[in-house]
């Protein structure tokens, strides 16, 4: 993992985290527990995240997303 990214965001595999989407699927935010199975830092603020979404509307599903970290608060 890139040292700069490690200082900004700490993730561990096989751990549970809270997932929030703004906006969510309706009028308000979407919240779900997720279990991270893998991640890779692609660039300073770009990560690829592999996880199970426990509260997905169509049932528990695995996802692999490439995301940009816009802002992180410790």
Asked whether residue 73 is assigned to any structural domain, the reply reads no
Beta bridge partners of 62: 52
**Which of 20, 13, 57 lies closest to 35, judged by CA?**
13
Average pLDDT across the chain, whole number: 85
Express each pLDDT in 5-32 by its tens digit. Answer: 455 578 899 999 999 988 888 888 999 9
Number of domains comprising the chain? 1
The answer to which of 3-17, 22-36, 38-52, 53-67 has the lowest mean pLDDT is 3-17
Rounded CA separation 71/74 (Å):
10
Residue 12 domain-assigned?
yes
Beta-bridge partners for 40:
48
pLDDT value of position 2? 44
Residue 50 reports pLDDT greater than 60 = yes
For the range 67-74, what are the long-range contacts, defined as Cβ-Cβ under 8 Å and sequence gap of 24 or more?
A: 69/8, 69/9, 69/45, 70/45, 72/8, 72/9
Q: Judge whether residue 3 has pLDDT over 70.
A: no
Does residue 60 lie in a domain region? yes
């Amino acid at each position: 993992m890139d040292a700069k990214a490690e200082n900004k965001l700490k993730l561990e595999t096989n751990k549970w985290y809270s997932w929030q989407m703004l906006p969510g699927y309706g009028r308000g935010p979407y919240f779900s527990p997720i279990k991270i199975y893998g991640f890779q830092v692609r660039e300073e603020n770009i990560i690829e995240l592999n996880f199970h979404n426990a509260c997905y509307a169509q049932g528990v599903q695995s996802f692999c997303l490439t995301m940009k970290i816009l802002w992180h608060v410790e």
